[in-house]
Every structure is written in structure tokens, then in C-alpha cells.
A and B are shown apart, each in its own frame.
Chain A
């Protein structure tokens, strides 16, 4: 294979690694469109991974695990939304708290799940036409990723073409205007945050049920947080979240890809590539003087 192995491993890695980014960023996009930031998505992701694996192990059905992960995500999202609806409660701080709570609970409840192996999601072998093993390996795609891609386009349609999507945008742009129209901003945000939690939970189940495909305490390393930054980069547009997720997935695959062609020195540094990329993008796209294009106006009020 030689040097061709590198881009191939990057593409394969991007397709494998990007799904959690995609799901969490879609969920966060929905939440932020309603005018709230949920930093707890990292905790939701890990709780989703743990509960998805647990239910898959207990029930024998991986898809039931995915559903359970989504439900746990809904609960955590609803908790965040409820806490933030109280007066004087800061959504960013609550997010950090729920992140720690989610991680702690997942490690606590997930202790018995480290040993057993649960049924995993199967892959679609899109590369079966090829004789070359790495090509086939790179093109193994999970159905969940395809659903995520579909969800990205569906969510764009939801925001642009549906009544409810418009309502979420109104609440995110100007809660007072929504109130004047007779809508309860807190209610809309509750549903948006809970639904956002569903996405993050499903993203977590991808981690434990497909890639890397087991439950361990080192499963997530800040994907949920990076997804929050990714939404800023994607300018609060679901389809751009998709492209950004693929980019981040590719960056996350740099380390393993270099390893696969025999470069192992500095592994810890390559592993920071997604974080560095996120940071560089944030620095490049932010500005002290103007608010970001496409940013829901309520997010700046809360700062």
C-alpha cells in the first residue's frame, strides 16, 4: 500500500470516528438554536455509551441499546432544561455540573459492564467490490452513521421549512418576542434540550456498540465537548455540522492512521490534533467586535 495507506486510513477513520461528533453536534445545534448551551453533552454521551452497552448486553439487541441510550439522553437533557428554567441558574455552569455527574454516574453504574461483551451493531460492507483489505476495512459503514447523515438534512429541513422549527428559532433569537406571541420559551427550550440529549445519547451508544465497540472508562475523551465547539464552527447549521464532524473525525484518525503506516513516535501529540484543530478554528472564526454570523441572539444575552 505504501503512502496510499495514509489517506485511506484517514477516510476510514473519519467515517468511523465522526458519528459521535455528528450526533452530539446535531443535538447541541438543536439545543443552541433554542437559545441555550448544554455543556453537559459530554456527560450525556458517556451515559449513553454506558446504558446502551448495558441494555444491549441484558436484552441481546444492540438496537434496543441504542434506543435506551437515546432515552437516557432525553432524561439528562430534560434535567438540564429544568434546572436552567429556574431563575438565576446559569446554563454553562449547570452544563459543567451535569458533565461531571454524567461521567461519575456512568463510571459508577458501568463497573460491572467492563468485562462482559454485548452484541454490537453490524456494519454495511460498502467496500466488498474491492480486493484490497484496507479499502474494505475503510468502507465499513455503520447504519447509525447513515441515519445521522439523514438526520442532519432532516434537521435543516425542520429549521427552515416547518412551523416548529421556526418556533425554536424564534425562541433562540428573541425569547421576549416568542413570549409576546404567546409561546412559552422555557417549554420550547425544554423540548429542544431533551431532544438534543436524545441525539447525544445515541452518539454515545455508537461509541460503545460500534467503534471502539466496548465499554470502558476511557471511551470518550472530550468528543462531547468538541462537538459543542464544532457547532460554533458549523455556524448553527445541521448540514454544516455533518461536514465539520467528518473533518473532526479525520483529525481524530490522524494518530491511528500514522500508527498504521508505522509512525508511532509522538503518539500523544497526534492524539491532540482534534483539540488543536478545534481551538484554531475557534480562534480564527471568533471576533471580539461582532457576534458570529448565524449565532442565535439569545446565546449572547446569556453571556
Chain B
């Protein structure tokens, strides 16, 4: 936690106002520069390590980089493909980033996404024949409800029973996928889907349209809007402030009378609703039905996005586009470089690891901070609890 951040220093005396303000702006700038510089350096190092990896596998490194650029951002067509992949990531990343404000590590986005998708299909079938607007709203509502309940359960287990939320969310991913497969291959299966078990389609009329001017569905707009809403909720409201206190020190939060249980469960529910909505958008805009194509790891990639964005709701948007681009370039790498489809996963793994390791540089890059405030020694009590 940023215990020694300049914002928390007491207000300066009146005479020193202008100078202190300038210093504060300098320190803020340093924090911002650091927050951008360190991840960028991490990304550069990751790509270098990835280059070594593919070179060992016998590929031409520069060619690989070029094809990745081409597949992700090279043309308007590929950029739209990137945005299509970024859309669910913005929402599944929130599923990790929101609980992270409370100090929880939740990686259950995959489960919430597939169950949300399933719930949206159920809603669409139940309201078949209604106005498409009604159907879409009901689909979104059902997906948010189920996704929210799924992650809310994990938050509840954590705060009420002390169950490790990381492990429970992972286990619940497998359980959710089991339920999903059971229903899609069994009771909810459309007999017409022979090779690939799917539910009945939701119908052309109920499909989620594209954002005007591009071939990208509205799910992207939902995701960006959700990230902004999450930013406002976490940084500009008393609820968000309470969450920040809990994330900093649960005991202090309890002593100041905060309802920790409620805040944890509500935050996790909102987080799950976001991931559920991602599932709904994938169903309504991309697949038109629920089948195994939904289980492609958007939930896990969302975890990576959240950590890369340092759990900052607004940081999620650009990082999602970056990760969406990496995902979008996978197909081109397979075709032109004959690299396996897991190449992208290797790069993601390297990125994740390097970015986490770069966390150690935080506040230790002296050339970035004009004032030594950042590097003031922490009190001994803080030092021992730093890992939290």
C-alpha cells in the first residue's frame, strides 16, 4: 500500500502554499510517470524474453514481431478484430480488479462469464417473441444476476467463513464449466447442433448490434462504460473510500465501524456482474448461442489484464486492447510463422510474470522522483506488513 504517498501528508502552512503545491504536483507527476514507465519497461522486457523463446523454437524473431503487429494493429480490419477481443477482457478484468481494491485476489471471471452467458440464453428463450430491446435488457440482467451471485458467493465465503478466495474462485471456475457443459450437452442442447453441442440460438432479431461506423459490437462500449463507472465508484464515492480502507487494513476498517462483510460481498457481486455481462455480449453479439466456443480463456486473460493495469479501472481499457491485440495476432502467427497456438499463452505468461516482478521497482527508481518523499523509510510496523 502506498503508505508514504504525498497526498497523505498534512496540509502545509499558508505561507508555504505555492511552493508545496508545486512540489506536490512534481511528486504526483513522478508517481504518474512511474506508473506508466515501469509497466512499459516491463512490456518491453517481456517482448525481448518472448523473442528469445521463439528464436529458440526456430522462428525469425523480427518477423514474428512484425506479424504480431500486423495481426493486431496493422489494418482497420485487424484492429477491429483486436477490439472485438478486447471487449470481453475489459469486463472480465473488472472481475479481478474490483475485489483487488479490497485486497482480494479473485480469478473466477471464467466461471462467471460462462454462467452469465448461459443465463442470458435462458432469458432470451423465456422471452422469445418480445421486443428485441426487452429481450436484450433481460439477457443482460440475467447474466449480471448470475455472474454477480457466482462471484458474490466467493466474496461471502471469504469474509464470512474465511475461505481462501483465490482457491475457491479457481475451483468454482471448474465447477461452472462442468455445469455449463452438462446443460449445453444435455438438457439445453439443440438437437440440430450435431457436431458442436449448442443451445437453441437466441434468434437473429435479438442479436446485439454493432457500434455505428465499425464492425465491433456494443459489448466494447459496455466494457469501457463499466470501467469508467468502476473508476467513479472506487475513487470518487464514499463506498470506494471504504473499500480502499478495507484494502489497506481490515482491522482499521472494522474499528472505524465499516460493514466489511457488506462491502466485500457487494463489491464481489458487482465484479461478477461485469464478467457475466461479458458472457451475455459474447452470446448476443458473436455466437448467437451458448457453446464451448465461449470457454476460450477470456476470464484468465482478464486476470492478466487487471494485474497489468495495476488494478486501476481506467488502466484496464488500454491494457485490454493490448492483450486483445496479442490474442488477435495468434491466428496470423499460426498461419505465417507456423508457431503453435499456445505461442500467445507463452507471451501472456511472460508478460504476467515480468510485470509482477517489476512491482519490486516501485518507489525505488530514484531518478523518477524529484523529492525523496517516496523513498522515506517506512515505519517498522509497516515494513513487516508490506506483503499484504
Contact = CB atoms under 8 A, between A and B. Distances in A.
Interface of A: 39, 83, 86-94, 96-98, 100-105, 107-109, 111, 176, 221-222, 225-226, 228-229, 232, 265-269, 271-272, 275-276, 278-279, 282-283, 286-289, 301-303
22 contacts: A83-B356, A86-B359, A89-B357, A92-B105, A92-B166, A93-B356, A100-B300, A101-B352, A105-B53, A105-B346, A108-B53, A108-B342, A109-B57, A222-B171, A268-B185, A275-B175, A276-B175, A279-B168, A279-B172, A283-B163, A288-B162, A303-B388
B385 interface: yes
B387 interface: yes
A303 B158 CA distance: 12
B353 A94 contact: yes
A91 B387 CA distance: 9
Interface of B: 53, 57, 105, 107, 157, 159-164, 166-168, 170-172, 174-175, 178-179, 181-182, 185-186, 300, 303-304, 307, 339-350, 352-353, 356-357, 359-360, 362, 384-388
A202 to B, nearest CB: 22
Contact of A93 (B161, B163, B307, B348): B307
A88 B349 contact: no
Contact of B353 (A98, A222, A278, A287): A98
A296 to B, nearest CB: 14
Contact of A275 (B178, B307, B339, B340): B178
B205 to A, nearest CB: 31
Given A102-B349, A301-B387, A226 B107 contact: no
Contacts of B303: 96
B267 to A, nearest CB: 17
Contacts of B346: 101, 104-105, 108
B68 to A, nearest CB: 15
A143 to B, nearest CB: 30
Contact of A111 (B340, B353, B384): B340
A88 B386 contact: yes
B162 A105 contact: no
Contact of B182 (A87, A266, A276): A266
A101 to B, nearest CB: 3
Contacts, number: 156
Given A276-B175, A286-B161, A101 B170 contact: no
Contact of A90 (B160, B175, B347, B356): B356
Nearest to B354: A97
A39 B162 contact: no
Given A86-B360, A107-B345, A100 B304 contact: yes
B167 A89 contact: no
Contacts of A222: 170-171, 174
A288 B161 contact: yes
Given A271-B178, A279-B171, A301-B385, A96 B107 contact: yes
A61 to B, nearest CB: 25
Contact of B162 (A83, A102, A269, A287): A287
A88 B179 contact: no
A86 B384 contact: no
A179 B27 CA distance: 35
A97 B387 contact: no
A108 B345 contact: yes
B175 A283 contact: no
Of all A-B residue pairs in the complex, the 3 with the closest CB atoms, nearest first, are: A101-B349, A104-B345, A107-B342
Given A89-B360, A97-B353, A108-B346, A226 B387 contact: no
Nearest to B157: A283
Given A83-B356, A88-B360, A93-B307, A282 B168 contact: yes
Nearest to A232: B164
A50 to B, nearest CB: 11
B105 A101 contact: no
B223 to A, nearest CB: 22
Nearest to B181: A268
A108 B343 CA distance: 6
A280 B340 CA distance: 38
A100 B163 contact: no
Nearest to B174: A275
Contacts of B164: 229, 232, 282, 286
Given A96-B303, A100-B304, A266 B186 contact: yes
Given A105-B346, A108-B339, A225-B170, 11 more contacts: A88-B359, A91-B387, A96-B303, A97-B352, A100-B300, A100-B304, A100-B349, A101-B349, A102-B349, A267-B182, A272-B179
A97 B356 contact: yes
A275 B166 contact: no
Contacts of B356: 83, 89-90, 93-94, 97
Given A98-B353, A269-B182, A225 B171 contact: yes
A109 B352 CA distance: 19
B167 A229 contact: yes
A171 B172 CA distance: 32
A39 B182 CA distance: 28
Contacts of B352: 96-97, 100-101
A103 B387 contact: no
Contacts of A229: 164, 167, 171
Nearest to B357: A83
Contacts of A287: 161-162
A31 B258 CA distance: 36
A88 B160 contact: no
B353 A83 contact: yes
Nearest to B183: A268
Contacts of A265: 186
A193 to B, nearest CB: 15
A185 to B, nearest CB: 12
Contacts of B175: 272, 275-276, 279
Nearest to A99: B349
B167 A221 contact: no
Contacts of B339: 108
Contact of A221 (B174, B343, B360): B174
A129 to B, nearest CB: 38
Contacts of B162: 286-289
